[in-house]
Amino acid sequence: MIETDVLIIGSGIGGLSTAIKIAEARPDLSITVLTKTIEGESNTRYAQGGVAAVWDVEVDSYSKHKEDTLDAGDGLCDENIVDIVVSEGPDRVQDIIDWGARFDKKKDASEYDLAREGGHSEKRILHYKDLTGWEMQRAVMAKTDEFPNITIYEHYFAIDLITQHHLGHSVTRLKQDIQCYGSYALNKKNNVIETILARVTVVATGGAGQVYRATTNPVIASGDGIAMAYRAKGWTENMEFVQFHPTSLYHPGGDNPVFLVSEAVRGFGGILKTKEGEEFMQKYDERKSLAPRDIVARAIDNEMKIRGEDCMYLDCRHLNHEDFVAHFPTIYDKCKSIGIDPMKDMIPVAPACHYMCGGIKVDDLGQTSIQRMYAVGECTSTGLHGANRLASNSLLEAMVFAHRIAADVLPKIDQWSIQKGIPDWNAGGTTDPKEMVLITQSIKELKEIMSSYVGIVRSNVRLKRALDRLELLYHETEEIYNTTTISPQLCELRNLITIAYLITRSARLRKESRGLHYTTDYPEKAGFLQANVI
């Protein structure tokens, strides 16, 4: 058993920023960070484009960033949260610069080289080549190392949150009197499930892109935190809003994850075209290749369907070779590695699942519907993104909420104590899972179901079929879970089924098309605004 003042599950930008903020204010508190593989493996590490913040105040303003965020969010953003993130964002970016993060500067090194992405009316994206996330992850890890009161436990897989339920009390989703006492976690090095008790728990487990066949998200992105919160009877919100990035590198043969071709490439002048080299985005939006993501992804999906083709193309051949390589060295190298020279060939691209706009419902301080439990980063629904996230707003959101969580936890933590009497993990099954194929095959089936029926374009019939298939997978998986020993793969399968269910159920509840949710049965927006809380 581990006892700690603060338990943080996840070591991406959300988890480590929260750890740093609490550690620097209170060196006397013990802070435990769990991460299911190594500290540096996260969605954060793969972020390419950058972090959006109002930086050049001569031309940009909070109201412009706010308008762009609201416009992308298609009526479902919480304006108060947008104000908070946009206005506090620059200070949080300054924090990470102070912690050592480097962002590219202009050639004369006088100012930051701000980029533009889809949906942004001004250049406001700070970036480090096309490796911004790698640089930010590096900076928060280095800063974390300065605090002796932060302990990182690698290869610890959080299985479930601990609540009164584990003391034998019944808890219901409707009541808001649930308390979180920590988490059970599988120590992957010795296969022992440990009890980790904390005065306060912060879930920072990132996204769930692995629920789809083609995703830009690394394999760690299986929605564990959202699924754990749902099982603990916490509230989730807006799960139907799954963002598909319009331009992942189309490379038949199926890499998992698929490689992202950053939206910043379009901001830099790349143009979407057909195989014949004709532009098509003017048919869909006057902003053409730089329209918000939902519009571009649907346009590409539609063109692929009407032409019966597997991809569209991004034309960069007219761009300056030297500048392109300087800005996008990773993208350039990746294309070259599969025989595509972006300066001579058009880059084949197709949409891929990229970001969960919904998640664990939190308030403006990152507090969930469960007491003594906070959540930060992509696993949350803060109200910032509404029905569609504006590019490069998520790293910003994570940093702003990390700061706010620390500010809320610090004056309260001394009132909370470690809960006594929590039993050890009650192992359900004890037999070894001899047939791993049952788990791996179910994961494949799940991805097929979600990609075929709950993708960019949905309908009542497709959603019903998905729910029917998911129910079967759910029962089969619970049977395995209750009879065999627990493995990370089995837990991930269970969590992905929960995520798939929440996405599909929320999609069924939304009888309209809005933002990222498009259904052929209700192609228009409804006259009322509704957030789906489950």
Considering only CA atoms, give the Rg of the chain.
22
Window 204-223: contact mask with ligand FAD (x via CB under 6 A): xxxx--------xx--x---
Binding region for ligand FAD (CB under 6 A) out of 37-45, 79-87, 161-169, 365-373: 37-45
Residues 135, 63: Cα–Cα separation, whole Å: 29
Min. distance of Cβ 391 from ligand SIN in angstroms?
Answer: 4
User: Do 481 and 494 touch, CB atoms closer than 8 A?
Assistant: yes
Of 84, 64, 80, 60, whose CA–CA distance to 72 is shortest?
64
User: Do 202 and 9 touch, CB atoms closer than 8 A?
Assistant: yes
Neighbours of 430 (CB within 10 A): 8
Question: Does residue 15 touch ligand FAD according to CB under 6 A?
Answer: yes
Among 6, 22, 29, 47, interactor with ligand FAD by CB under 6 A? 47
- Residue 132 vs 195, nearer CB to ligand FAD: 132
DSSP state of 158: E
Chain residues 340-359 in contact with ligand SIN, contact rule CB under 6 A: 355
- Residue 130 vs 194, nearer CB to ligand SIN: 130
Name the residue with tokens 């005065």.
199
Among 18, 30, 32, 43, interactor with ligand FAD by CB under 6 A? 43
Residues 526, 67: Cα–Cα separation, whole Å: 21
- Residue 262 vs 369, nearer CB to ligand SIN: 262
Residues 298, 307: Cα–Cα separation, whole Å: 14
Window 374-413: contact mask with ligand SIN (x via CB under 6 A): -----------------xx-x-------------------
Q: In the annotation, is 293 catalytic? A: yes
Question: Does residue 351 touch ligand FAD according to CB under 6 A?
Answer: no
Min. distance of Cβ 349 from ligand FAD in angstroms?
Answer: 14
Binding residues for ligand FAD, rule CB under 6 A, total: 44
| Both structure tokens of 258 | 């698929």
Residues 494, 45: Cα–Cα separation, whole Å: 25
Question: Does residue 264 touch ligand SIN according to CB under 6 A?
Answer: yes
Binding region for ligand SIN (CB under 6 A) out of 158-166, 257-265, 376-384, 484-492: 257-265
Question: Does residue 10 touch ligand FAD according to CB under 6 A?
Answer: yes
519 binds, among ligand FAD, ligand SIN, none (CB under 5 to 8 A by kind): none
Among 262, 382, 477, 495, interactor with ligand SIN by CB under 6 A? 262
Among 74, 263, 378, 512, interactor with ligand SIN by CB under 6 A? 263
Residues 195, 6: Cα–Cα separation, whole Å: 14
Min. distance of Cβ 170 from ligand FAD in angstroms?
Answer: 25
Question: Does residue 311 touch ligand FAD according to CB under 6 A?
Answer: no
Min. distance of Cβ 398 from ligand FAD in angstroms?
Answer: 5
Binding region for ligand FAD (CB under 6 A) out of 40-48, 290-298, 438-446, 448-456: 40-48
Catalytic residue chosen out of the listed positions 116, 266, 293, 494: 293
User: Do 326 and 332 touch, CB atoms closer than 8 A?
Assistant: no
- Residue 224 vs 263, nearer CB to ligand SIN: 263
Among 43, 48, 163, 381, interactor with ligand SIN by CB under 6 A? 48
Of 210, 335, 298, 252, whose CA–CA distance to 517 is shortest?
298
User: Do 379 and 359 touch, CB atoms closer than 8 A?
Assistant: yes
Quick one: CA dihedral 258, 264, 270, 274, positive or negative?
positive
- Residue 13 vs 150, nearer CB to ligand SIN: 13
* Residues whose CB is less than 8 angstroms from the CB of residue 33 and which lie 6 or more positions away in sequence, other chains included: 8, 9, 10, 11, 15, 16, 19, 39, 144, 150, 151, 152, 153
Of 189, 196, 232, whose CA–CA distance to 5 is shortest?
196
Min. distance of Cβ 202 from ligand SIN in angstroms?
Answer: 23
CA neighbours closer than 13 Å in the CB half-sphere of residue 243: 28
What are the backbone angles phi and psi of residue 68, rounded to the nearest 5°?
Answer: -65, -40
Of 208, 206, 214, whose CA–CA distance to 447 is shortest?
214
Binding region for ligand FAD (CB under 6 A) out of 46-54, 284-292, 419-427, 512-520: 46-54
Residue type, 443: I
- Residue 139 vs 297, nearer CB to ligand SIN: 297
Coil, strand or helix at 121: coil
88-126: string of b/e by CB count within 10 Å (b at 16+)? bbbebbebbeebebebbeeeeeeebbbbbbbbbebbbbb
> Is cis: bond before 257, omega within 30 of 0?
yes
Coil, strand or helix at 66: helix
Query: Quick one: how far is CA 299 from the chain centroid?
Result: 23
What counts of helices (H) and strands (E) characterise the chain? 13, 18
36 binds, among ligand SIN, ligand FAD, none (CB under 5 to 8 A by kind): ligand FAD
149 binds, among ligand SIN, ligand FAD, none (CB under 5 to 8 A by kind): none
Binding region for ligand FAD (CB under 6 A) out of 12-20, 107-115, 360-368, 444-452: 12-20
163 binds, among ligand SIN, ligand FAD, none (CB under 5 to 8 A by kind): none
Window 5-44: contact mask with ligand SIN (x via CB under 6 A): ----------------------------------------
Binding region for ligand SIN (CB under 6 A) out of 256-264, 307-315, 331-339, 499-507: 256-264
484 binds, among ligand FAD, ligand SIN, none (CB under 5 to 8 A by kind): none
Q: Pairing relation of β-strands 380-381 and 518-519?
A: unpaired
Among 224, 240, 315, 512, interactor with ligand FAD by CB under 6 A? 224
Catalytic residues: 293
Residues forming the site for ligand SIN (CB under 6 A): 48-49, 262-264, 355, 391-392, 394
